[in-house]
Amino acid sequence: MLTLTRSVGETIRIGDDIEVHVVEVRGGTVRLGFKAPREVTIHREEVYRQIAEANLLAAQVTADSLGALAAFAPSASAAEAVAGEPPAPATQTAEDASA
Amino acid sequence: MAPSAVAAPSRHPATPPAVQTLTLTESLPGFPGHRDYVLVPADPAGVLCWLQSVTPEGPRFLTVAAAAYFPEYVPGLPASALVELGLADPAAAELYCLVTVPGGDVAAATANLRAPLVVNGDTHRARQVVLTDGLHPIRRPLRR
């Protein structure tokens, strides 16, 4: 790994179009500024790892779970409720008759 | 337009949801080199979709249409991502969240709201956008 020493206000350039600025150093913390083309994404390492791990788990989902998962959609549960309604009007009719 | 879509009974869609080919502007973290995918409806209502790499033996992910599962989910998308995808109107972005089913237990299934797949349905360009606002969980339970 390449190691460079830089002071606050100084810059490192990576390739033609990526700049890393040392903005502030305080205690054990350094603030860095980045200028990079839009297609270059910049993440804190731990965030990138979290997303990568979540994606790796997501890639293991099988088709077995589809039906149950579809039923978790709010619109799907509304459809279930509509489908489950036919008995309800009958009950209501009975009540109306008794009233 | 939207009301008729809501009113259409999801059990009997008039037309099956369409398959979309997608080109990712950046590969998914953890899956470098895979940029060409198809988004294939996985259920009749089109609320679940497979995000399938076109590469043989490539990865496949299950996604949920965020609008169908999480109507209240309106994340602030970074301007850079909108420009990159050519989305002049953030509301035009289609959002899909990757699903994880730990140990195959659907009751424990979660969706990643922290890093949605943002799709421009006109150009079929897409990317996974990592939100930095700290408001949206990586593992939001799907079960209600």
Say if CB B44 and CB B143 are below 8 A apart.
no
Contacts of B43 in chain A (CB under 8 A): 66-67, 70
What does pTM read for this prediction? Answer: 0.78
CB A12 within 8 A of CB A18: no
Residues of B in contact with A54 (CB under 8 A): 98, 100, 112, 114-115, 138-139
Residues of chain A found within 8 Å of residue B144, distances taken between Cβ atoms: 72, 74, 77
Q: What is the ipTM of this complex?
A: 0.83
How far apart, in whole angstroms, are the C-alpha atoms of residue A95 and residue B7?
A: 30
d(CA B116, CA B78): 12
Ordered by start, the domain boundaries in chain B are 2-141
In a domain, A24, yes or no: yes
pLDDT 10s digits, B74-119: 999 998 899 999 999 999 999 999 999 998 899 999 999 999 999 9
**Structural domain includes residue A58:** yes
Task: For residue A48, tell me if it sits in a domain.
Answer: yes
Structural domain count of chain A = 1
Domain assignment present for residue A77? The answer is: yes
Q: Looking at domain B2-141, which of 2.40.50.140, 2.30.290.10, 2.170.130.10, 1.10.1040.10 is its CATH number?
A: 2.30.290.10
pLDDT in tens, A4-17: 999 999 999 999 99
Per the structure, the complete domain to which residue A68 belongs is given by 11-83
**Contact criterion met (CB below 8 Å) for B53 and B59:** yes
Residues of A in Cβ contact (< 8 Å) with B116: none
Query: What does the buried/exposed string (b/e) look like for B41-66 if buried means 16 or more CB atoms within 10 Å of the residue's CB?
Result: bbbebbbbbbbbbeeeeebbbbbbbb
pLDDT tens, residue by residue, B32-43: 999 999 999 998
**Domain presence at residue A99:** no
Beta bridge partners of B120: B125
In a domain, A59, yes or no: yes
Residue to mutate among B37, B50, B63, B101, with most A CBs inside 10 A, is: B101
Q: What is the pLDDT of residues A17-53, one digit of tens each?
A: 999 999 999 999 999 999 998 778 888 899 999 999 9
> With 60 as the cut, is the pLDDT of residue B139 above it?
yes
Q: Do B45 and A47 touch (CB under 8 A)?
A: no
Q: What percent of chain B has pLDDT over 70?
A: 88
Euclidean distance between CA atoms A36 and A54, whole angstroms: 26
